[in-house]
Amino acid sequence: MHFHFRQEEDSKVLLKLVPVKDDHSIEINGELSNKALIKLNEGYEVSLKDDTIVTGKIENYYGIPRSQPRKVQVLQNARERLEQRTEVLNMVDFITFIDVNNILHSKGFFITEDNREEKYLEILETGNDELIDLLEEFLIAKDNLNPLVDAKKQYTKTIERLKEIDESSEEVTQLLAGEID
């Protein structure tokens, strides 16, 4: 059976295959879905566990129809910019942030965006040098990751904006030319 397939907006479903002739569908999740998307877009057939063969190209690119190539190009450019920033990211900062956050969690300090100032003060008020050093490591790593977080937010805004504007609009032209973010 041959399928059309698409990426779903729902983050739990990474790839949804929709049969050409009936209304059943297959959902592929996890690492396999990313590999399947890459292979399908490269023109390969993908075999599923039940011996179903899938061929084709995705009908959208992160929610933007491939029938709107200028908007797809804007999104691809935005992804490239995000990936360039990711390459610059020092993985030590990323690992430090996760590691120190986990240690703080294990010691009962669950730092969220809403409670961060309160938790920072709580750690400082313990007078525990080990905890204070961990907090300092956490804050340095967090500060070093902020440019990447900001870039991801801008990328998400670009996706949402592209969904709202017309393919032939001046705004798409400006986005393609890099005149606006």
Task: Specify whether 74 is located in the same domain as 148.
Answer: yes
Task: Specify whether 52 is located in the same domain as 76.
Answer: no
Residue 87, classed as helix, strand or coil, is helix
Task: Specify whether 138 is located in the same domain as 69.
Answer: yes
| pLDDT at site 136 | 95
Query: Between 86 and 68, where is the model more confident?
Result: 68
Task: Specify whether 29 is located in the same domain as 80.
Answer: no
Looking at 36, 58, 80, which one is the last position of a domain? 58
CB 165, CB 174: distance < 8 Å? no
| pLDDT at site 72 | 81
Query: Between 61 and 91, where is the model more confident?
Result: 91
User: What domain range is 21 assigned to?
Assistant: 3-58
Mean pLDDT, residues 28-46: 61
Residues whose CB falls within 8 Å of the CB of residue 64, separated by 6 or more in sequence, listed in order:
71, 72, 75, 159, 162, 163
Burial class (CB in 10 A: 0-12, 13-18, 19+), 178: exposed
How many domains are contained in the chain? 2
Instruction: State the pTM of this model.
Output: 0.56
